[in-house]
Amino acid sequence: MAYRIRKKGPGQPAAPSSPVPHTPHAFPNGSAGSHLPGFLDDRKKNPLIVAGIVGLVVLAGVGLVAHIYSDKKKTEQKAAALETQAEQMFSKSMQDKNSDLNKIDLLFEDVVKKYPDSSSAKVAPLFLASIQNQLGQPQKAVNWLHEGLEKNSGDTKILPFYYESLGVTFMSTKQYDQALAMFQKVIKFPGKTLADAAYYNIGKVYELLNQPALAILNYRKLQKKFPSSPWASEAEAYIRKQNPTESSPPPPLASPPPLPAGK
């Protein structure tokens, strides 16, 4: 329920300076609460009753907050259910080339349009961008990714996914400078989420630009910083192809065990 404060209209007398105004208060049933101010003036004689009224006001406020929270929870649940349905169809489409991507696209769009403030609406643009890329609409993908960036402003956990997707999309349209800029943003995030994929994609960009030295440089950074990443072995294949006699740098030697005391 929303409450509005009535402003004093032109020509109306100013409110009295007493602590409790004696102007009638409007009640939902249309009557005026002219007896309430007089009663409150007698609050010293009825402290328990006044305390009870204050308590009711507080409870009403708590009830309003609970109602808002309940509505928000229901909205989140509806959005999550729709998102789950869309994601399941999206996963199946990865295996079935005959899937109707446009139908899946509409489901994710519903998540964003019907529940714009939900948590689901923060991730839906990633799927929408992927679908548009598969449909050969990279500009639409970029538009969705920019919308996702706005929805997730300041969220360092999910932003790397958006910048990485932007980089891949720019790669597909041969906008290599912009792609590199996006991958560099991914690397700078403190949690290093997708940083290994970003190093790999930077190397790929330099491959496409026919600059093998820079490609190998970034692949080496990938191997050094993320040796267990699946992209590290992919990078190694390119390094060996460019330098057949060169192998990966050996892992650092283990430190010798400490000598027993007194030795």
Got the DSSP string for 63-124? HHHHHHHHHHHHHHHHHHHHHHHHHHHHHHHTT-TT--HHHHHHHHHHHHHHSTTSSHHHHH
Better-scored residue on pLDDT, 11 or 241: 241
Whole-model pTM: value is: 0.68
Write down the number of H helices and E strands in the chain: 10, 0
pLDDT for 173 beyond 80: yes
pLDDT for 42 beyond 60: no
Report percent pLDDT > 90 for the chain.
57
- Cβ atoms of 50 and 43 within 8 Å: the answer is yes
In this prediction, residue 98 carries a pLDDT of 78
Calculate the alpha carbon distances from 166 to 124, 140, 148, 173, 201 in Å: 15, 11, 11, 11, 12
Query: What is the C-alpha separation between 200 and 216, in angstroms, rounded?
Result: 10
Q: What is the average pLDDT across 192-209? A: 95
Better-scored residue on pLDDT, 202 or 74: 202
The pLDDT-based confidence of 38 (bands split at 50, 70, 90) is: very low
Mean pLDDT of the chain: 77
The pLDDT-based confidence of 10 (bands split at 50, 70, 90) is: very low
Better-scored residue on pLDDT, 249 or 213: 213
Domains within the chain, CATH numbers bracketed: 80-242 (1.25.40.10)
Q: Which residues contact 145 (CB under 8 A, 6 or more apart)?
A: 125, 126, 129, 162, 165, 166, 169
